[in-house]
Amino acid sequence: MPELPEVETTKLGIVPHIHHNVVDKVIIRHPRLRWPIPKNLDATLKNQRVNNILRRGKYILINFPKGTLLIHLGMSGRLKILSENIPPQKHDHVDILFTNHKILRFTDPRRFGAILWTSDNPCEHVLLKNLGPEPLSAKFSGNFLFQKTRNSKIAAKKFLMDSKNVVGVGNIYAAEALFLAGIHPELSVNQLTLVQCNKLVTAIKKVLKMAIKKGGTTLKDFSNSNGEPGYFSLKLKVYGRQKLPCFKCKTILENRRLGQRATVFCPKCQAFKKY
């Protein structure tokens, strides 16, 4: 489900309910995720107060006095806030019960998500320490992208989706940003001109900001943190529109598999050309 905007939306959704609140207990129903949920999480979190809640890439970091809970939603993970204890469903893995009677429930049918605990600086955690810059930060600039891409022939879309280069850009927004920038998804990144790097960075920021503003692009299995059905308001220009006409030029959009991921683009607006 989630790319950066969805994770950000989820984070924003849970913050008002759990910020500065105290954990009463943790109930682990299904510990198997990408890695097992730490067995002693109840003992670890009990009576601890939430200091703050951050996002880094697609990770949600819930900081406590003794350490940080790292949460990744994988492909199908969801976090919901419950105000009453609704009976758990099949794929509800964990409940974190707070003393204010709010419950943070983690659900993940495909189990690609993760819930981990670290008592050290979370930025030094093995999963976080090699992450690239935040796409909405000043560090992620056209110059940065240009400089990072000089020695690689990797396809532009694959480069964007690699979190070592930039975090938070997944299959949907990579395709959307490349369309906005008029860049072919298979273009080798060392072919990108500085002008194209600037356009691409601008496009990424624009599409992510817009999606955050709309509350995250949501597909069939996304619910926001209140358990409401997600929004469908962000109009995707290429993702999921294969064989349909391009909004700009009416050319039929093409779908290719790139690194086993569906990759939709306009062969005319995103032709291999330089600026």
**DSSP letter at 185?**
T
Clarify whether 2 is annotated catalytic.
yes
Q: Min. distance of Cβ 259 from DNA in angstroms?
A: 6
| Closest CB 83 distance from DNA, rounded Å | 24
Strands, sheet with 103-107, edge to edge from the N-terminal-most edge strand: 23-28, 92-98, 103-107, 78-82
- Rule CB under 7 A: say whether 262 interacts with DNA: yes
φ, ψ of residue 81 to 5 degrees: the values are -105, 125
Strand partners, 254: 265
Nearest-approach distance from CB 111 to DNA, in angstroms: 5
* Residue 130 phi, psi dihedral angles, 5° rounding: -100, 15
- Cβ-based nearer residue to DNA, 99 or 137: 137
Comparing CB distances to DNA, the nearer of 72 and 199 is: 72
- Minimum separation from the CB atom of position 154 to DNA (A): 4
Binding segment (CB under 7 A) for DNA, from list 43-51, 79-87, 93-101, 155-163: 155-163
Q: Footprint of DNA on residues 81-110 (CB under 7 A)?
A: 90-91, 109-110
Q: Could you give the angle at the alpha carbon of 1 between the alpha carbons of 34 and 224, nearest 5°?
A: 110
Is-catalytic flag, 3? yes
What is the dihedral sign for C-alpha 210, 63, 44, 124?
A: positive
Q: Which CB, 98 or 173, lies closer to DNA?
A: 173
Q: Both tokens of residue 11? A: 């984070």
> Any catalytic annotation for residue 148?
no
- Binding to DNA (CB under 7 A) within 6-65 occurs at 6, 32, 34, 57-58
Rounded to the nearest whole angstrom, what is the least distance from the CB of residue 21 to DNA in the complex?
27
Write out the two tokens for 170: 């997944």
Quick check: is 220 catalytic?
Answer: no
DSSP 70-121: EEE-TTT-EEEEESS-PPP-TTEEEEEEETTS-EEEEE-SS---EEEEESS-
Spot the catalytic one: 11, 55, 56, 58. Answer: 58
99 in Cβ contact with 36 (< 8 Å): no
Choose which of 21, 219, 231, 236 interacts with DNA (CB under 7 A): 219
Rounded to 5 degrees, φ, ψ at 271 are -65, 160
Question: Using CB under 7 A, which of 97, 155, 156, 192 touches DNA?
Answer: 155
CA 9 – CA 165 distance, rounded (Å): 23
Residues that bind DNA (CB under 7 A): 1-3, 6, 32, 34, 57-58, 72, 74-76, 90-91, 109-112, 127, 152-155, 158, 161, 163, 170-172, 217-222, 230, 259-262
Task: Point out the residues that are catalytic.
Answer: 2-3, 58, 261
